[in-house]
Amino acid sequence: MNEITVVGGGLAGCEAAWQAARQGVRVTLFEMKPHRFSPAHESEFLGELVCSNSLRSNAPDSAVGLLKEEMRRLSSLILRSAEATAVPAGKALAVDREKFAAFISREMEENEFITVVREEVVDIPSSEEVPVVLATGPLTSEALTEKLIQLTGERHLAFYDAIAPIVTAESLDMDIIYRKSRWEDGPGDYLNCPMDREQYLHFIGLLAEAETVPLKSFEETKYFEGCLPIEVMLSRGRIPFASGP
């Protein structure tokens, strides 16, 4: 095998293409951006993160940290990009999302074994002569989704994640807020905001009345019951006082 086709320029597609190229395999990678964007994507870059900028724990004694170490030893493009664009996050590996995607895009487009084709794939390519990797994710375009439904008989693809609020640094009162790591094992990468009971009740009251962002057409409300958002607890008539939230 000296040639493969990869459909989808997200994390999985870029990693698959990169690993194949490292073996001397010529790769044609199709990405529909910028000609067409999914409801969640905004950037023209490959490897764009559309939800959290945290790739979770980087500690090798955790499951996700161990996976990262295995990927690191396999010369993972995603791990190299993340480490080159990392931001402070305690034991977690978090990235500057724009620099992260720009790094991946540059490495992919400059690789002599990889050809990036910016066009939408509307049918599943034949794999009789050239192996095909489909890495289009849960936000696959409608046309290709229909083809996948015909192939697999499954109808449900879903995407749902949290949106992290953005707070400007100058709005924070650092006389009250203090830095501390989650397990007291780092330089203090998290900002902690202490509140007494009265302040907390006032805070969650404002939160309950705050304007919300309407869900997009592809999102469904499915919460993890073991760690509910505070505003969801309030909507169910519960006042969240446990340490979980």
pLDDT tier at 156, thresholds 50, 70, 90: low
Residue among 115, 40, 46 at smallest CA distance from 77: 46
Q: What is the pLDDT of residues 192-236, one digit of tens each?
A: 889 999 999 999 989 888 888 887 776 777 777 887 888 888 888
SS3 60: coil
The neighbour count for residue 186, using CB atoms within 10 Å, is 15
- Alpha helices (runs of H) in the chain, residue ranges in sequence order: 11-22, 63-73, 77-84, 97-110, 142-152, 197-209, 230-235
**In a domain? residue 132:** yes
Tell me whether residue 12 is in a domain: yes
Is 0.95 topped by the overall pTM? no
Identify whether residues 192 and 107 lie together within a single domain.
no
Give the chain's domain count: 2
Helix axes 11-22, 77-84, angle to 10 degrees: 110
Identify whether 51 is part of a domain: yes
Statement to judge: residues 60 and 146 lie in one domain: yes
CA distance to 9, 19, 78, 144, 186, per residue, from 65 (Å): 24, 20, 14, 34, 17
Q: Which domain holds residue 197?
A: 169-235
Same domain, 146 and 185: no
Residue 241 lies in a domain: no
Sheet holding 132-134, edge to edge: 114-117, 26-30, 3-7, 132-134
pLDDT of residue 244: 46
Same structural domain, 17 and 115: yes
Q: pLDDT tens-digit profile of 20-74?
A: 999 999 999 999 999 999 888 889 999 999 888 999 999 899 999 999 999 999 9
Please report which confidence band the pLDDT of residue 93 belongs to, taking 50, 70 and 90 as the band edges.
very high
105 plus 147 within the same structural domain: yes
Q: Which sign, positive or negative, has the C-alpha torsion 97, 62, 12, 224?
A: negative
Closest CA to 181 of 85, 86, 57: 57
Domain end: 102, 125, 152, which one? 152
- Domain presence at residue 161: no
Same domain, 41 and 133: yes
